[in-house]
Structures are given as structure tokens and as C-alpha cells.
A and B are shown apart, each in its own frame.
Chain A
Amino acid sequence: IEIQAGIRYYYGKV
């Protein structure tokens, strides 16, 4: 099953 990843999984808060 594929799930939608979120942007925050890849990029952190500055």
C-alpha cells in the first residue's frame, strides 16, 4: 500500500 508522504518529512523548519 502506498501512502502520501508530507513535505515536512524531507525538509525541516528553519
Chain B
Amino acid sequence: MLELRLVQGSLLKKVLESIKDLVNDANFDCSATGFSLQAMDSSHVALVALLLRSEGFEHYRCDRNMSMGMNLNNMAKMLKCAGNDDIITPSRPMMAVTPSPSCSKVQVRFTCCFAQDKIADFEMKLMDIDSEHLGIPEAEYHAIVRMPSSEFSRICKDLSSIGDTVVISVTKEGVRFSTRGDIGTANVVCRQNTTVDKPEEATIIEMNEPVSLTFALRYMNSFTKATPLSNTVTISLSSELPVVVEYKIAEMGYVRFYLAPKIED
């Protein structure tokens, strides 16, 4: 038995919108502690990890660990039918007696917050997905940058009109985003800035040692679809690891995107 009740339906809509273009099919893993997902993109260059803790739901019941394979575009289509303030309650009551996961379904109910007499029920087919789960150990990063998510999104968008890759360098000077293309080059430097009116507008740079890595802008731009989830983004860089671009989901968890760098052949 799985029962979830999420009063802020827009949150789940935003989560699906942020990952559906990167990952087609994924297993949602449910346990007593929460709802999680880990999936690679089809070229195995990027990985998304989602966590929604059980405490963040108004109601959460998961009797035993289960994995629900979903087509994320189909799930996003269904969630588009929900109003931003609708209450969303996905459930999977038949799990215990369903012989094969491939023929089972998830039921999703949207309850309109304004008209209590309007209830919409959807049923979506689940898929049998043979996905591999990668172990991501806790790691020390050479530099961690926290900045406004809208600023990061703007930089990625602007640079991608000039080049295909971005070099992210953290030095004492700040964090530098550089690209080059046929028409020329572009450099954007963000310095640490904590003297702002609101904490979410700050740029905070923690640097243990300078680091410089090259990434495909196409993926970075895809990650920025998570911008509506959080006012800030955290970018963790290490010369030995994929970059981690993290959007916190208020009081519930996070969406983390891991991207392998471009390396010298």
C-alpha cells in the first residue's frame, strides 16, 4: 500500500517539468522515509537524483519498499491537468496482489482546492524498467558556489547562444563562466556578494582550492528547468568528480543533477 497526499500540487508539477526532458523513463522508489528517484540520461553523461522526504507530505504511508517505473513525459502530462493549488494524491493500492509490475498502474487523484466537489481521477500504466542504481558517496569538493538560480539560468542561456561548452572556474576572484564559439568568446564573472537585501540573492563561494572544469551547455540548460523549484542553486565542483547542480525543495528534499565533465583525451 502506498498513499501520498501533497497539498501543494504545483511542487510535483515543477519536479516533473525539471527532469522529464533529461530522463524518459525512471523508477520512483518509495520507502517509509520518502520518495526518491535516480536516473541517468540516455547518453549516460548526466544523472538526476530526486528526494522528497515523507515529512514533507501531509499524509504519507508506504507499508513496504516499492519501485514504480514511470514514463516521465506521461506523468507530466497527467500532472498538467492539475491546478497549481490542487491537492495531489498518488496511490498504488493493488501492489501486494499484482503479479507483475509491468501490468500494474498508479492512481492519481487531483482534488481542486477551491471547489471541494470537484475531484479528478487518473490512472497511469506503470512500466517495468531495468535501471541501474549508482552509488554516489559523500565527497569533498574543491569549491561550492551558491547563487540565485535565476542568475545561473540566465548565464547558461546567454552563453549557449555563443558556444556549446562552458568552462566553470573558481578562483579567489570569484566564479567565472566562459565559452567560445565561431562568433567570439564570452566571460561572466560572479564575485562573492553577501551584502544583499534578501539571503537568496547572495552569491557565496566556498573555495578549498581553485578548480576549472568544462561542461556541455546543453545539459546545464536542461538542469535550469528546475529553477522554479528554488530561488538558489548550489554548484559543487571537484576536478575528480562530476559537477553537482542542486536545487533544494523547501523542507522536503532536493533535485540534484550530476554532469560528467569534458576531459582531455
> Which residues from chain A sit less than 8 Å from chain B, CB to CB?
1-14
CA distance A12 to B132 in the complex (A): 10
B241-A10 in contact (CB<8A) = yes
In the complex, how many residues of chain B place their beta carbon closer than 8 angstroms to a beta carbon of chain A? 24
CB of B45 within 8 Å of the partner chain: yes
Partner among B135, B260, B264 whose Cβ is within 8 Å of the Cβ of A6:
B260
- Minimum Cβ distance to chain A for residue B64 (Å): 19
| Contact partners of B44 in chain A: CB under 8 A | 6-8
Asked if B45 and A6 make an inter-chain contact with CB atoms under 8 angstroms apart, the answer reads yes
B260 touches A14 (CB 8 A): no
- B-side contacts of A4, CB under 8 Å: 45, 216, 260, 262
Interface of B is mostly: loop
B residues with a Cβ closer than 8 A to A are 40, 43-47, 132-136, 165, 214, 216, 240-242, 258, 260-265
A10 partner, pick from B132, B133, B242, beta carbons under 8 A: B242
Contact A13 B261 (CB under 8 A): no
Contact B133 A7 (CB under 8 A): no
A sample of 8 more A-B contacts (CB under 8 A), given A7-B44, A11-B135, A14-B134, is: A1-B265, A3-B264, A4-B260, A5-B261, A8-B44, A10-B240, A10-B241, A14-B133
**Residue of chain A at shortest CB distance from B219:** A4
A3 to chain B, nearest CB (A): 5
Select which of A3, A7, A14 is within 8 A of B258 by beta carbon. Answer: A7
B97–chain A nearest beta-carbon distance, Å: 29
Chain B hits for A8, CB < 8 A: 44, 134
A3:B263 contact, CB within 8 angstroms: yes
User: Smallest CB–CB gap between B237 and chain A, Å?
Assistant: 13
Chain A positions within 8 Å of B261 at CB level: 5
> When A2-B265, A3-B265 are in contact, do A10 and B260 touch as well, CB less than 8 Å?
yes
Q: 9 A-B residue contacts at CB 8 Å?
A: A1-B264, A3-B264, A3-B265, A4-B216, A5-B45, A6-B45, A10-B242, A13-B134, A14-B133
